[in-house]
Amino acid sequence: MFYYLFHYLDQHFNFPGAGVFQYISFRAALALQSSLVITMIFGKRIINYIRKKQIGETIRELGLEGQNEKAGTPTMGGLIILAAIIIPTLLFAKIHNVYIVLMLISTVWLGSIGFLDDYIKVFKKNKEGLKGKFKVVGQIGIGLLVGAVFYFHPDVVVKERMTANQQSAYSFDDAISSKKDLTLPKYAPTPIKSIKTTIPFVKDNEFDYVSVLSFMGDSAVKYGWLIFIPIVILIVTAVSNGANITDGIDGLAAGTSAIIGTTLGILAYVSGNTIFADYLNIMYIPNTGELVVFMAAFVGACVGFLWYNAFPAQVFMGDTGSLALGGIIAVFAIAIRKELLIPILCGVFLIENLSVIMQVFYFKYQRKKHGLEFAKANRLFKMAPLHHHYQKSGFHESKIVMRFFIIGIMLAALTIVTLKLR
């Protein structure tokens, strides 16, 4: 909103300072500050309102130290995160940008699914919440929408690097006549539709989903969505559930998401900037730079939420926040063509997910081979997800969270480094 207002003032009235709103870095900084203000100042009021409504967490008996002390802690704090993301984005981003529109839709969509789950748990007194199949249907729905938009929308394009022959054939008549210094263009002047993405540890650093259908010949491009959309659905569902599982101890999901979000924001900035994309020799994606504003709000919301969610938590985000955080990360990564880096960048989510899967399969294997009692006494982990395993081992929540943060930072650095590892 403010972008359009100050753009108008700059164009028609030459209003002093109005031109600064054209810079993504400036608007991203304002979005970050605004989200911090919303979470840290207005968040307290929301927490008090939730407490008055007696929207407290019902604790399942898991035998964890300090568990009972958390009973009655206000939940549905994810509403604070959602507000801190949506409001600054509406204020400072270019709303007509297709990527921004899709990120806002994804935020509201997944936040609504999580809110419905929390509502059933808290107000309907049903500990199971929304049935898993309905959650999955909702996640598939947003994945289908995101995949279709990214595949078919005319504004979702890339600019490919020009070959030496293309550069030599480029016309410089106007520049020559004006006797200006010439610089060969690095990218083709016309963007194209493509479902190429970034892949680590490969020389060209790019992978085209259409290549999977190469056996179809010329029809492969026409039916590329048969590969792309299911992959998008899988990624959105997996990362969303991964964030949900990680949200098990104070501050873990919010802090990890902030680290991931910061990395994605950096990748969005360099991918949407011709100079940086050329320097790093990565894919140039027009109009994705605007996503930095959204991600700045996202990071600010996560960090600000830690003000109240760090140990001992004054509020829990609930599924309202955790499902939305994971889904946002997934959709954002797909938007900037970095979704195949998710196993590295979201390694904490992946480890947490895998620990649950491994625990279940190992238990079933032991039960089948040695019986139920043996399986109960010889589990792979003391408890799943993995953070509960360390809690059972005697580690304090704060130490577990901090060490997971350190691992998250290491994985974030590795993700950025992969851009040059070929």
Q: How far apart are CA 46 and CA 52, in angstroms?
A: 10
Asked if residue 169 is part of any domain, the answer here is: no
Residue 175 has pLDDT above 70, yes or no: no
Question: What digits encode the pLDDT tens for the residues 404-413?
Answer: 999 999 999 9
pLDDT (0 to 100) of residue 299: 97
Q: How far apart are CA 332 and CA 329, in angstroms?
A: 5
Q: How many helices (H) and strands (E) does the chain have?
A: 18, 2
Asked if residue 171 is part of any domain, the answer here is: no
Mean pLDDT of the chain: 87
Q: What are phi and psi of 196, to 5 degrees?
A: -70, 150
Question: What digits encode the pLDDT tens for the residues 195-236?
Answer: 999 888 877 788 899 888 888 887 788 888 999 999 999 999
Is residue 11 exposed (0-12), middle (13-18) or buried (19+ Cβ within 10 Å)?
Answer: exposed
Q: Which residue has the higher pLDDT, 344 or 70?
A: 344
Asked if residue 422 is part of any domain, the answer here is: no
Asked if residue 54 is part of any domain, the answer here is: yes
pLDDT (0 to 100) of residue 125: 77
Q: Half-sphere exposure (CA, 13 Å, Cβ side) for 199?
A: 10
Q: Which residue has the higher pLDDT, 123 or 261?
A: 261
CB 266 within 8 A of CB 24: no
> Poorest-confidence range of 88-97, 273-282, 303-312?
273-282
> Which of 315, 310, 327 has the alpha carbon at shortest distance from 138?
327
pLDDT (0 to 100) of residue 109: 96
Q: How far apart are CA 179 and CA 177, in angstroms?
A: 5
Asked if residue 114 is part of any domain, the answer here is: yes
Asked if residue 117 is part of any domain, the answer here is: yes
Give residue 196's domain range.
2-162+181-417
Residue 99 has pLDDT above 80, yes or no: yes
CA angle (34, 36, 41) in 5-degree steps: 100
Asked if residue 167 is part of any domain, the answer here is: no
> Poorest-confidence range of 89-103, 172-186, 300-314?
172-186
Question: What digits encode the pLDDT tens for the residues 235-247?
Answer: 999 999 999 999 9
The fraction of the chain above a pLDDT of 70, given in percent, is: 90
Question: What digits encode the pLDDT tens for the residues 290-318?
Answer: 999 999 999 999 999 999 998 888 888 98
* Mean pLDDT within 8-19: 83
The secondary structure of 203-259 as a DSSP string is SS-EEEGGGGGGGGGGGGTTTTHHHHHHHHHHHHHHHHHHHHHHTTSTTHHHHHHHH
pLDDT (0 to 100) of residue 163: 62
Three-state SS at 343 = helix
Token pair 């958390």: residue: 70
Residue 338 has pLDDT above 90, yes or no: yes
Question: What digits encode the pLDDT tens for the residues 362-407?
Answer: 999 999 999 999 999 999 999 989 999 999 998 999 999 999 999 9
How many folded domains does the chain comprise?
Answer: 1
CB 56 within 8 A of CB 71: yes
Question: Dihedral, CA atoms, 90, 93, 98, 103, nearest 10 degrees?
Answer: -60
Asked if residue 144 is part of any domain, the answer here is: yes
